[in-house]
Structure 1
Amino acid sequence: MSESQPSRDHEPHAPLPVEIPVTENIADAALDLKTQVVRFVVTGGLSAVVDFGLYFVLVQVVGLPVNVAKSISFIAGTSTAYLINRRWTFKAEPSRARFVAVVVLYAITFSVQVGLNGVMYEAFPDEWWRLPLAFVIAQGTATVINFVVQRAVIFKIR
């Protein structure tokens, strides 16, 4: 770069998302489908614990409305999932374009999850299993959408 050209390091840009440190070399070859599915499910399980745990506490203990509680818990759960999936499941380098694509995907799955959860919660009788069953149906639907789009599109973005 010549002295007359400005340094690109000083141009304003969107910050990268928070990174989770790993010891594995992220440049290793991409993982096969079976390994990605297993890792995605493990990560999803952990993220679902974060999501449902917070959802349950916000509805049952704090007394928030179902859709408000689900909105907050969704953000916590999906943030957990993205951070782990990017580094461990899909072994992807940091990318602003990918991060923006994930935000768009999560906005879509947010609508699916919160909407479907609300519909299922209202459709079921007022029994002890209503809250967890509505959650599982909404979570399962969003999980399938997330895996397919992340594997086929988002983690192929450079």
Structure 2
Amino acid sequence: MLPGRQTGARGLVAVAARYLAAGLVVLPLSLGLHLALVHAGLDVHLARALSFVAGTALVSVLHRRWTFRSAGARGAAWWMALLSATTFAVVVLTHGLALAALPSVVGGGWVVPAAWVVSQGLGTTVSFAVLRGAVLR
């Protein structure tokens, strides 16, 4: 275990708080990039994929050293690649479904950002559960 790393329920709360804080730093950057790309005329699905990659790259750096205080482990790169691919699939599929379902729930101007939030929320939940439980223990 690394210095300063907590275990048990208290440790889980601390990790979850750091995870949330890191996400809140990256969130406006990723959403802003997504909306800027859509506004510039890029396909909404491609814009979502690019904003996911950019956000994941940035938040990965924050999570590795600050959120989970991980020095790394053998094989962690493979787990991270698998996690990123899985999360990417969850995010892109959820985004497409949300784009189809949300027009009946929210106003036209809010569909794209709302779909981003829905897909990001589910992707973040999957990512946290896997990172905490399997990759960066």
Aligned residue pair count: 130
Q: Aligned partners of 1:50, 1:41: CA distance in 2, in Å? A: 15
| Cα shift at 1:96 | 5.4
Equivalent residue of 1:129, what SS?
helix
Q: Does 1:39 align with 2:14?
A: no
Bigger helix share:
2
| Cα shift at 1:77 | 0.5
Equivalent residue of 1:153, what SS?
helix
Hey, which bits of structure 1, 4+ residues long, moved more than 4 A? none
Q: Deviations over 1:59-96 (max 9, x none)?
A: 01x21101100111000101111110110011101345
Q: Larger C-alpha radius of gyration, 1 or 2?
A: 1
Q: Does 1:59 align with 2:34?
A: no
TM-score, L = length of structure 1: 0.77
What amino acid is aligned across from residue 42 of structure 1 in structure 2?
A
Q: Deviations over 1:88-125 (max 9, x none)?
A: 01110134511221111010110110111111112222
2:48 matched residue in structure 1 = 70
Q: Aligned partners of 1:130, 1:39: CA distance in 2, in Å? A: 29
Q: Aligned partners of 2:79, 2:29: CA distance in 1, in Å? A: 23
1:28 matched residue in structure 2 = 3
Percent sequence identity is 32
Q: Aligned partners of 2:74, 2:41: CA distance in 1, in Å? A: 37
Equivalent residue of 1:110, what SS?
helix
1:107 matched residue in structure 2 = 85
Conserved in 2, the CA contact under 8 Å of 1:86 and 1:92? yes
Q: Aligned partners of 1:38, 1:111: CA distance in 2, in Å? A: 25
1:141 matched residue in structure 2 = 122
Give unpaired runs (5+ residues) of structure 1.
1-25
